[in-house]
Structure 1
């Protein structure tokens, strides 16, 4: 199995998720919640469908996560000004503060990963992985 590309990619993903989970544990948020905060920090006011795609979570699970984040005051829902039937998700002030506090976690993980490879090989790997992803 160790020769199968899908297995290798899944193994790396699992390892990185576990490392990120440990880094986020002191703040009591999940990797998915952190991805939501990060996504909204760079482009606030996303629909649930867009957010689900961007943070790699199925829509039903995302609804539960967003419900919890609303209850924790990290995000809020508001109607889409262009289509009142749609709801958009926005980062709250508290969510912004938490994201700002934690964004170094991603930089630390990225530096550790690059140090395992070298800058050039990390760029090559990123390019290869982008080529595999179908959008």
Structure 2
């Protein structure tokens, strides 16, 4: 059986992403949202009403995918769209009260997943991994 050091980095990252995303989605399902919706809610809860391109950049989602996610969130009363008063050509997406409540409940679900991951690999290793990935991502074009 191949060990982690025998596997190519993209394969290791893909396996880790798939497993962590599965755990997030399983936990978030209990509060009525997906990981993609969680990422959008997290950004909007922190930043307020924002244009789609900023949300897409934060969430790492292609714009067509983000449009579908936001459409679903609007239909579920988690978010709403409004015209930007400073530039009527732009549309801003904001959290609804229900979206903020869902985000608050989701924080607990995500916290439980992250606590499980810390127990699995160790808090220091998980923090180091997060820091290394964030640094690498910040250096990408």
Q: TM-score, normalised by structure 1?
A: 0.90
Q: Which runs of 5+ in 1 are unaligned?
A: none
Moved segments of 4+, more than 3 Å? none
**Structure 2 CA distance, aligned partners of 1:41 and 1:126?**
22
More displaced, 117-126 or 46-55?
A: 117-126
Is the partner of 2:61 in helix, strand or coil? Answer: coil
Contact 2:38–2:103, Cα closer than 8 Å, also in 1 = yes
Unaligned 5+ segments in structure 2 are none
2:14 to 10, 13, 24: 10
Structure 1 distance, partners of 2:105, 2:128, is: 30
Looking at secondary structure, tell me which structure has more strand per residue.
1
Aligned-CA RMSD value: 1.7
TM (norm. structure 2) is 0.87
Q: Does 1:79 align with 2:106?
A: no
Equivalences for 1:1-135 in 2 at 5 Å?
A: 3-133=7-137, 134=140
Measure the CA separation in 1 of the matches of 2:130 and 2:29: 27
Q: Distance in 1 between matches of 2:73 and 2:124?
A: 38
Q: Render the CA deviation track for 1:57-76: whole Å, top value 9, x for unaligned.
A: 11111112211211211101
- Work out the CA distance in 2 between the residues paired with 1:74 and 1:86: 20
Question: How many angstroms does 1:92 deviate by?
Answer: 0.4
Structure 1 residues 26, 5: CA separation in 2 closer, same or farther (over 3 Å shift)?
A: same
